[in-house]
Amino acid sequence: MPDKSLGIMGGTFNPIHFGHLAAAEAAREAFGLERVIFVPSGRPPHKDSRQVVAPEHRYLMTLLATLDNPSFEVSRLEIDRPGPSFTIDTLRQLRDQFGESAQLFFVTGADAVAELPKWRDYEQIRALAQIIAVTRPGYPLPVGEGFLDRAPGADHSAGGQKPILTLEVPSVAISSHDLRRRVRLGLSLRYLIPDPVRDYIYRNRLYLDQGREEGT
């Protein structure tokens, strides 16, 4: 038996919202995770830096969003690490930190999992952590390189790699892309993100000057 079962919730969190939090809590309960560690990306290699607010803003918003859940914590691994933020580097650091006996679960959206073969050292990612692909009820899982092509909950293991697990969460439909658009248009963020995060965005006047949107 592993000493610890830990969820790793990676993402830009630009900004973090209730969809991220609901997915993390659902994964914690469904897979019996001791806790979920949120890891805001420092310098995401796949996104236009002009569309992503400073790492420290995103780190602080993630802290504010998770303070009321004792099973959540926030890591500065990617914020403090120089260079582009690659998932494989983060998982290796966490493996060194928690030891071989810890079981790591990487929680991310099913759409992102379908792009996994394009990530750096993706075979090693699947060897280091079990991946939890989060999707909305009633939406078919995307197919990526033939490994997300079976029913939810099935074992998608390949060779020595850990299986890809699936989890349906109703509230993951919220989009960071749409939240940034709403800020620019002066529309309400209430009931979409935690109030402390909403207040932080308004207080620091984030996302007002972003005329083009890419990603979530």
Tell me the C-alpha distance between 188 and 179, whole Å.
9
In this predicted structure, the answer to whether residue 21 has a pLDDT above a threshold of 80 is yes
What pLDDT digit, counting tens, does each position of 180-212 carry?
999 999 999 999 999 999 999 999 999 998 654
DSSP string, the chain: --S-EEEEEEE--TT--HHHHHHHHHHHHHTT-SEEEEEE-SS-TTS-GGGS--HHHHHHHHHHHHTT-TTEEE--HHHHS-S---HHHHHHHHHHHH-TTSEEEEEEEHHHHHTGGGSTTHHHHHHHSEEEEEE-TT-PPPPSTTSS-S-TT-----TTSPPEEEEE-GGGG--HHHHHHHHHHT---TTTS-HHHHHHHHHTTTTTT--S----
Q: Which of the pair, 37 or 43, is modelled with greater confidence?
A: 37
Q: Would 52 be classed as within a structural domain?
A: yes
Q: Are strands 130-135 and 164-168 parallel, antiparallel or unpaired?
A: parallel
Q: Would 126 be classed as within a structural domain?
A: yes
Q: Would 136 be classed as within a structural domain?
A: yes
Number of domains in the chain: 1
Structure tokens at 23: 């997915």
Phi, psi of 19 (to 5 degrees): -65, -45
> Residue 97: which CATH number?
3.40.50.620
Q: Would 213 be classed as within a structural domain?
A: no
Q: Would 215 be classed as within a structural domain?
A: no
- The arrangement of strands across the sheet holding 164-168 comes to 72-74, 35-40, 5-11, 103-109, 130-135, 164-168
102 falls in which pLDDT band (50, 70, 90)?
A: very high
What pLDDT digit, counting tens, does each position of 109-154 carry?
887 887 878 888 988 998 999 999 998 776 666 655 445 544 344 4
Structural domain harbouring 51:
5-173
Cβ atoms of 213 and 179 within 8 Å: the answer is no
Q: Which of 73-77, 112-116, 131-135, 167-171 has the highest mean pLDDT?
A: 73-77
pTM of the model: 0.86
What pLDDT score does 213 carry?
Answer: 42
Q: Residue 62: which of 74, 48, 79, 50 has the closest Cα?
A: 74
